[in-house]
Structure 1
Amino acid sequence: MITAKDDRRRTFEAVPAGAQAASWWGRAWTAALEQASRDGARLDRGRAYAAGGHVDAVTVTPGRIVAYVRGSRPRPYRTELILPAFADDEWSVLLEAVAAEPASLAALLEREVPQSLAGQVLPAAGELLARCSCPDPARPPCKHAAALCYRTARLLDEDPFVLLLVRGRGERELLEELTRRNAAHAARERPRSAPGFPGVPARAALARTALPPLPAPLPVPAAAGLPPAYPADPAGPDPLALDQLASDAAARALALLATAEDPLAGLSLWQDAVRLASAHPTAGLTGAARVLYRDLARATGRSTTDLARAAAAWRQGGRAALAALEEPWDPPAGPFDRARPALIAAGRGSFRPARNRLSCGTRQLRLGRDGLWYAYESRPGDEDWWPTGRPCPDPVTALRG
C-alpha cells in the first residue's frame, strides 16, 4: 500500500534531455529564478551544465528539490531549490476550485498545468530560492542552482504533478481527493431535462405489408468495429455515453455471434451500471465522464459517490470484488482466523474483526466468498472505505497492494 509519505517523495534518475523548457509552465519556472539573477553569464553556464548532463538524480519533496551537480572539481555540489509548500487550508481552496471546473480537471489529467491555476501554483517573484554547497561567493543563484532549475523545468514539461508535489501534495493523493470532491459536485448538479428532439414511433417505422426474405448470414468479423462520431447537441444525449454504449453493444454482439453465449448474462441493473462506469479509469473526473456517472447513478437510484466506489471495486476484481464491497458475511473458521496472526507477524498491526472484515486505522481487509482478500483504505477518523490494490489469497500481500 502506498502511503501519503511515500507519495510525497519522488526521485528521477533520468531527466528528459535538453536545457530549454518546451511548455509555457516550464518556461515560467525558469523565469522565476532568472528574475532573481543579475548575472547572465552565470545563467548561461548553468544552461550549459544542464545540457551537458552535469545534474545527477533529482529528488523532489514538499518545498524542496535536491540534486548533486558536477562542476569543475571532482566532488559534486549539493544544490537545492526551495519553494514554499501550501498549508492544508490553501490546498482545500485550490482543490475545490479545480473540482468545480471541468476544463481545469481535463487539463490536469492530460498532464498540463491549467491556466486557471498558473497564478496559484507557479513561483511568484522572489518565491523560488536556491542553495548550493559550492564556494561561489556571489549572490545566488550560482551556475549549479541554475543548472538544476533548467533540468527541473524539463521534468515539469513531462509531468506537472512534480510542481504540485513541491507545493506539498503527491499525485495519488491529489487524484483521490479530486475524485471525492467531484462525486460531491456531480451529486449537487441539477438533472437535465428530457431530450426534445423529434422521433418516429417504433411501431410506425417497422410496420409494412410484406417483409422481404432474410439475407444470407454474414461471416463473424474478427473484431468489433468502431462506432461513428456522434456530434454534440444540447438537445440530444451525451456523445461520450452514446459512444460507450455503442462500443459495448458491439463487443457484446460479437461475443454472442462467436460463442452463442452472453458474457453479461445474469448481471443486475446495478451491476451492469457499475461495469459501464468502471471502464473510465478517471472515475468520473472529466466533464464528459461526470455526466455518464450522474446518469448511471440516477438510473439505478444510487448516488454518484456509491457508483464511483463500486466502479473502483469492479476494476479491483469484477463481480466478486463488488460483492466483497456490498455483502458482509460470516466466514467459516480457517483462512479468516489465520489472517490476524499472519498480519501481526508481518508487522502490519493488530486488526479488529467484524464479520468478514479486518480493520486497523486507515486500512481494512475484506474476505470475499471467492477466498480472496480485498484491501480498502480510508482517511484518518473516517469510515469512508475505498477499494485499493488487487485481491490475493494471502492477506499480507493484499494489504501491500
Structure 2
Amino acid sequence: MITARDDRRRTFDAVPAGVEAESWWGRAWVSALEETSRDPARLARGRAYAVEGHVEAVTVTPGRLVAYVRGSRARPYRTELALSPFPDSVWSEVLEELAADPGALAALLEREVPQSLAGTVMPGPGELLPRCSCPDTGRPPCKHAAALCYRAARLLDEDPFVALLLRGRGERELLDELTRRSAAHAVRERPGAAPGFPGVPARAVLARGVLPPLPAPQAPPAATGLPPAYPADPAAPDPLALEQLATDAAARALALLTTGEDPLAGLSLWQDAVRLASAHPTAGLTGAARTLYRDLARATGRTPTDLARAAAAWRQGGLPALAALEEPWDPPAGPFDRARPALLAASQGAFRPDRNRLTARTRQLRLGRDGLWYAYESRPGSDDWWPTGTPSADPVSALLG
C-alpha cells in the first residue's frame, strides 16, 4: 500500500531527452525562471549543461526539486528549485474546481495540466527560487540552476503530476481525493437517483449470513459435437488441420470432464498418433482423413495400414486394446484352461493356444494384460488379423460380440 508519505517523494533517474519544453505548462515553468534572470549568458550556459547531460537524478518533494549538477569541478553541485506548497485551504479550492469540471478532470487523467489551473498551479515570475552550492555569488539563477530548470521542464512535459507534487500533493492521494469529491458532486447533482447499473447495497454485501449452496453441476454431454466450419483462406492455417485440432480438443475436454484424466497423459508419439487416427474410421475415409492417416503414419515411421489397424484396436478398447494388438505375452494357464472348454461348449470349435492368443481358422482371441479378451478376424488362408467386436472378460461374449 502506498502511503501519503511515500507518494510525496519521487526520484527520476532518467529525464526525457531534449531541452525545449513542448507543453504549455513546461514552457510556463521555464518562463518563470527566465523572466527573473538578467543574465542571458548564464541561461545559455545552463541550457548547454542540460543538453550535455550534466544534470543527474532529479528528486521531487513538496516545495522542492533537487538534483546534483556537474560543473567544471570534479564534485557536482547540489542544486534546487523551491516553490511554495499550497496550504490545505488552497488545495481544497483546487480540488473542488477539478471535481466540478469534467473536462479539467479528464485532462488531468490524460496527464495534462488543465488550462483552468494555469494561474494557480504553475509558478509565476519570481515564484521559483533557485539555490545552488556553487561559488557563483551573482544574481540567481546560476548556470547549474538554469540547467536543472530546463531539464525539469522536460520532466514536467512527460509527467505534469510533478508540478502538483511540488505544490504539496502526491499523485495517488490526489486522485483518491478527486474520486471522492467527484462522487459527492454526482450525488448532489442527482439526489436520490439510482445508479445506472445493477448492484447490491454495501450493507447487504457485508452483512454476515449463511450463503446458499452452489447449484448442482450440469451433466456432461454424451459425446462431442461437430467442429465449426473453417473457410479456406490462403493467408489462414489449413482448415482441415484446424478442424482436427478442434475435434481433438473437444474429445480431450470431454474425457477430462467425465473421468478426470487427460487421455494424452503418458502416451508415446505412436500411441498419440493412433489415438488421433481412431477418431476417423477407415471405412469410407474422406480426403481429409486419408491425408491425416498419411501424415501421421509418415511422422511415426509406420505404414498407413499399420496405423489403420492400430486405430481399429484403439476404437475397440483404447490403450489396453492397442497393447493386446502389439505386445504378445505369456499369461498363466488358468484363463486358457477355462476359455477353451467354454468355447467348445458354446459350439465355437477348438482353439489353438499360442502365447496370449487362441486361434481357430479365421477367428482369434487375444488375452490382454487387463484380463479382457479381444476378438480378431482374418480372411481364409491369411495371417492379416484385424480387431473386431467389444472386449469382454468372457471369451465367448468377446468372440460373438
Whichever of the two has the greater Rg, that structure is: 2
| Higher RCO (CA-CA < 8 Å; seq separation 6+) | 1
